[in-house]
Structure 1
Amino acid sequence: MKASLRLISSLLSVLATVRASPLVPRQSITTLSAAQIASYKPYTYFASAAYCSPSATATWSCGAVCNANPGFIPVASGGDGASVQFWFVGFAPAQNTVIVSHQGTDTSQIEADLTDANAILGNLDPSLFPGVSSSVEVHQGFADEQAQTATTILAAVQNAISAHGATRVTVVGHSLGAAIALLDGVYLNLHLPGITVTTIGYGQPRVGNQAFADYVDAHLSVTHINNREDYIPILPGRFLGYHHTSGEVHIQDSGAWVSCPGQDNTSTQCTVGDVPNIFVGSSSDHGGPYDGVTMGLTVAEATDAGWAAYTGGVILYAKPYENPRVRDSISSTLPSNVA
């Protein structure tokens, strides 16, 4: 997995001036305990495992990222990593939940890049999202990607619920995968009455408008975890009509994890305040680490230089990566604040 640089450049091409919002009082920010941080780690590994090929996740043989969650029972997997992102569904006995996980962008695949670039806001498909107001609008590239696998994943989740008596579903993903996971969470929540659906995203871009964020806050439990100066989460810009849902957790430079209440919390302890524009951000933070887990890699594997393939069957982001030329090429067209 690369650092989603084409996602960055595609979204940046449509950015324009936006005024900063007032800072949220610091006292509203709370620090997570070590136990709270540790509770996310199994889900971080599940998100990382989505970068493995379907053949590997179908047999739960994707190396260290699979071994971190022993006992996981795979139910279905799919995708080609290009026109359809990799995904898998299974049951996690240790967490007593069905898991749905989506792969993030592989920037070597043009189809995935085009998904990221299609940042036009539009309505959700009413056949998939019945009863959702037409005021709710989402990123059409993300929506089209989620729609390709929606019914297949729903059937797999229903099979897992039936086989294991599950009452909980947790949908996870990183980057583009986090955006798809959020839409999947909304979709599954509509079609699984009596089941508690939760989404956990890592390095998630904004997915929809204010009405979407409000709808999600009212109907779904969401956590989106942002690492240090990762600037993918400030894209697409708010001036385009995009808004984050509540549920942000921001990993600070000190390593502390803080809970940032509200939507797009502008405290400097949270992402929008800490990363007001891409020039103070860092693409190297996008892949992690998230409590020691780098997306697609173990910490040890992540120290290898460059890009690496491993037995999980996927090209992975293996070293902090910056391309100053990308920033230089757009510096004359961007305002100072685009968050």
Structure 2
Amino acid sequence: MLSRTLLATFLAVISAGASPVQFSKRQSITALTSAQISAFTPFTHFASTGYCNPSVTLTWTCGANCNANPDFIPVASGGDGSSVQFWYVGFSPSQASVIVAHQGTDPSQIEALATDADAFQESLDPSLFPGVSSSVEAHSGFAGEQAKTATQILSAVQTAIAQHSATHVTIVGHSLGAAIALLDGIYLPLHISGVTFRTIGYGTPRVGNQAFADYVDSHISFTHINNREDPVPTVPGRFLGYHHPSGEVHIDDSGAWLSCPGQDNTSTQCIVGDVPNIFDGNVSDHGGPYNGITMGC
């Protein structure tokens, strides 16, 4: 179900004009190899599975998405799909990683929800994000969504690490789920040591200010994958003080996956240049396909 907080930010934007690859700000725009693209596929399915009811993610009986990662071992799931986004945590032996996944949004409701503008920024809650500077600010709605499940997910991740002697945690999500996943990518390492973390987001909106983007670049491994002319990654607008971290992969109209270095790369080969405003976007691109995978349970 679509969050009113996420796609409300479209209103403001109208006023403004292999292993997964790592990125350097100075590298040129380059195409991913087929092996690099394929390495994302299990995680794309994990993100898509975030749309499934907790009753089926806990038993891993959700059909095609679950079947795509058949060795996954669920640990916990939750959310109601309305006031609290669905989520699940478990362990993937084939990926040698704990997986944390968050439910995304329903793009069919974008226009209806665009009248509810709520894009102001706030410092991260110091009780959840100890030691993070108050200058690091995030979208208040996204931060509020992440706070609803933060302690439950922390506990589930700690359990999964202990049960499986895990040393890696991968956090995934699509749309609003990607925004929550990015915040979890900052949150979890502050409370868990001795493991490595990475976050993979699909159709990720901008989540925070310049200090937020810089913190992400300095502290976490983050890849955000954008499909063709999806307008969601262009909101909230940069004129409101929002900035994407580095790590963009843009799927262009030919189907090529392009690594776009730096923050908010304005090349027309990257999402900011390709979709300068929502009138140039195509909402139907938001759900995918991402290498043949369309988001949804």
TM over 0.5: yes
Matches within 5 A, 1:61-72: 61-72=61-72
- Structure exhibiting the larger radius of gyration computed from Cα positions: 1
Alignment-derived partner of residue 263 in structure 1:
263
SS in 1 for 2:69: coil
Structure 1 residue 195: deviation in Å? 1.2
Alignment-derived partner of residue 28 in structure 1:
28
Q: Kindly report structure 1 stretches of 4+ aligned residues shifted beyond 3 Å.
A: 4-8, 15-19, 106-109
Identity %: 71
Aligned length: 287
Alignment-derived partner of residue 13 in structure 1:
11
CA distance in 2, matches of 1:122, 1:202: 24
Structure 1 residue 106: deviation in Å? 4.4
Alignment-derived partner of residue 157 in structure 1:
157
- For the Cα contact (< 8 Å) 1:29–1:258, is it kept in 2? yes
Alignment-derived partner of residue 172 in structure 1:
172
Structure 1 residue 149: deviation in Å? 0.6
CA distance in 1, matches of 2:58, 2:295: 19
CA distance in 2, matches of 1:238, 1:121: 13
**Cα gap change, 1:215 to 1:17, in 2 (>3 Å):** same
Unaligned 5+ segments in structure 1 are 20-24, 298-339
- For the Cα contact (< 8 Å) 2:5–2:141, is it kept in 1? no
Matching of residue 148 in structure 1 with residue 148 in structure 2: yes
Structure 1 residue 7: deviation in Å? 4.3
Matching of residue 95 in structure 1 with residue 85 in structure 2: no
SS in 1 for 2:264: coil
Alignment-derived partner of residue 306 in structure 1:
none
Alignment-derived partner of residue 247 in structure 1:
247
SS in 2 for 1:204: coil
**Cα gap change, 1:6 to 1:139, in 2 (>3 Å):** closer
Matches within 5 A, 1:192-211: 192-211=192-211
Letter matched to residue 40 of structure 2? Y
Letter matched to residue 173 of structure 1? G
**Cα gap change, 1:190 to 1:6, in 2 (>3 Å):** closer
- For the Cα contact (< 8 Å) 1:31–1:256, is it kept in 2? yes
Alignment-derived partner of residue 129 in structure 1:
129
Structure 1 residue 27: deviation in Å? 7.6
CA distance in 2, matches of 1:165, 1:201: 25
CA distance in 1, matches of 2:180, 2:145: 7
Matches within 5 A, 1:38-49: 38-49=38-49
**Cα gap change, 1:69 to 1:78, in 2 (>3 Å):** same
Letter matched to residue 96 of structure 1? A
Alignment-derived partner of residue 222 in structure 2:
222
**Cα gap change, 1:210 to 1:225, in 2 (>3 Å):** same
Deviation string 1:287-338 (CA, Å, 9 cap, x unpaired) is 00000000015xxxxxxxxxxxxxxxxxxxxxxxxxxxxxxxxxxxxxxxxx
- For the Cα contact (< 8 Å) 2:201–2:223, is it kept in 1? yes
**Cα gap change, 1:76 to 1:196, in 2 (>3 Å):** same
CA distance in 2, matches of 1:294, 1:85: 19
Letter matched to residue 238 of structure 2? R
CA distance in 2, matches of 1:15, 1:251: 22
CA distance in 2, matches of 1:220, 1:15: 27
Alignment-derived partner of residue 309 in structure 1:
none
Structure 1 residue 14: deviation in Å? 2.4
Letter matched to residue 133 of structure 2? S
Structure 1 residue 118: deviation in Å? 2.8
Structure 1 residue 261: deviation in Å? 0.5
Question: Could you tell me the TM-score, scaled by structure 2's length?
Answer: 0.91
Matches within 5 A, 1:294-313: 294-296=294-296
CA distance in 2, matches of 1:79, 1:6: 17
CA distance in 1, matches of 2:171, 2:286: 19
